[in-house]
A and B are shown apart, each in its own frame.
Chain A
């Protein structure tokens, strides 16, 4: 069993609130190419950024679905803001999920809605007004407006940027980014990194899952924690590292 505590070492300040906790967590997935974990513990606090590097042959989608309470863990508990995903209180579960922004690996769109409708759907469903938020993040990521085409007719790099906007809307408490740079131009990395720094300052915890062995140089503020999924375990391989 590995215990990975990612607390920011600030002895003066009280520890920040825990956003996500995996307790004695095991997950074996339904397919062979699903990322697996056995008896891991992970605590992610407000404002923290954690990179999890997974084998390029493995998919993280199911694992993130477990984090969001969409699938059950094989063993152990997943706590989001001290609440678990158990029971039949679906309203509570949907409210909890509305606080999680996610960039999906693989299929991420409702095919019969256009991209703009897809992006604004969760925001409009949960928030009172999202117009300013949409404009802010679209401008931030270099878009003048959201695409009005169906996802099938938009090129993947643009779709990926629209995914970023959707994930950042409505001030999420947790951002889960599965391969966020997939299809996106590497020139967009600093833009995404700066956006992540901004939401972290506001208290958002960020979980960045990648299969890329190296990251472009960027000094995250505060520094990030780097973990590697290895032998069904999470192994720390550097803290505050921006270059491998």
Chain B
């Protein structure tokens, strides 16, 4: 402290703030994030390798995959439809408001809905449904298995926990996000049309409306939709598996793991969504109507 007091005032302030400490903390946080991303990528790489290996697909692994798909995708359909319907209403209400405010033609509703839904909303909502319904339960289940010694039990039986626990869960999350995104997009378009038609915001018949949508569709949107759902789903699945299997301690640590997993998965999905949008479309305003 004596040495710091002898420094000129600006340097003294820096000394008290300990800039090296701040840099060290920032560096540590950055390296921690890099480590987390490396762990996720390593798990995804291992999963990809195991998925294409025929010996992975033993009857118990197939059974886990089918159960997980039933829980994550099939049981999530109703939630997805409800979410889609609700957001479809929001989108059409906003579209009607902006049409009135800006005085633009009604014909822009279909392309606006299509782009907003397929490019952004449907994949994001599907991820939200899957994270809320499945990723947090997956992390909780794996953490419970870890704490109870069940993962070691599988290991002792010669059953690779990566093959038996992680691979089917990540794959089911990926498939579920992709399928639910399609269902949610359909639900949003259907609800949006019905409500818009009911409140006279859309004055064309269904086929004309759908034709307007499909006319706007291009290969780029589909190329964007597929990797976006797959990458976001893969990251969400990997995060919940890693968090679940990294738990150390007792049962009381599990709720903390569950909440942290939800936030981490959500953050990852939003970040991936943003990065892919910028990379694919090369701009920040996604809903710009051409």
Contact = CB atoms under 8 A, between A and B. Distances in A.
A100 B156 CA distance: 8
B154 interface: yes
B61 to A, nearest CB: 8
A117 B157 CA distance: 13
A31 interface: no
A65 B150 contact: no
B139 to A, nearest CB: 14
A94 B163 CA distance: 11
A125 B158 contact: yes
A91 B164 CA distance: 13
Interface stretch (A108-116, A211-219, A224-232): A108-116
Nearest to A94: B158
Contacts of B61: 125
Interface of B is mostly: helix
A46 to B, nearest CB: 20
A37 B160 CA distance: 29
Interface stretch (B13-21, B32-40, B141-149, B258-266): B141-149
B42 to A, nearest CB: 13
Residue in A65, A91, A110, A117 whose Cβ sees the most chain B Cβ within 10 Å = A110
A99 B158 CA distance: 8
Contacts of B160: 90-91, 94
A57 interface: no
| Size range of the chain A interface in the assembly | 20 to 34
A96 interface: yes
Nearest to B67: A112
Contact of B145 (A110, A121, A122, A125): A110
A124 B58 contact: yes
A90 B155 CA distance: 10
A28 B183 CA distance: 57
A210 interface: no
Interface in A56-108: 65, 68, 70, 90-91, 94-100, 102, 104, 106-108
B152 interface: yes
B153 A125 contact: no
B60 interface: yes
Contacts, number: 64
A125 B141 contact: no
B59 interface: yes
A97 B159 CA distance: 8
Interface string B154-189: 111111100010000000000000000000000000
A136 interface: no
Interface string B49-65: 00000000011110000
A117 B61 CA distance: 12
Given A110-B154, A112-B141, A121 B159 contact: yes
B153 A108 contact: yes
A126 interface: yes
Contacts of B159: 94, 121-122, 125
A111 B152 contact: no
A109 B58 CA distance: 20
A125 B164 contact: yes
A122 B144 CA distance: 20
Contacts of A97: 155-158
Given A125-B58, A125-B60, A110 B150 contact: yes
A95 to B, nearest CB: 7
Contacts of B60: 117, 121, 124-125
Nearest to B63: A117
A205 B103 CA distance: 85
A130 B160 CA distance: 19
Contacts of B156: 65, 68, 70, 97, 100, 102, 104
Interface of B: 58-61, 141, 144-145, 148-150, 152-160, 164
Closest CB pairs A-B (n = 9)? A98-B158, A97-B158, A122-B157, A94-B158, A124-B59, A125-B58, A110-B150, A125-B159, A94-B160
Interface of A: 65, 68, 70, 90-91, 94-100, 102, 104, 106-112, 117, 121-122, 124-126
18 contacts: A68-B156, A90-B160, A94-B158, A94-B160, A96-B158, A97-B155, A97-B158, A99-B158, A102-B156, A107-B148, A107-B149, A110-B145, A110-B150, A110-B153, A110-B154, A111-B144, A122-B159, A125-B159
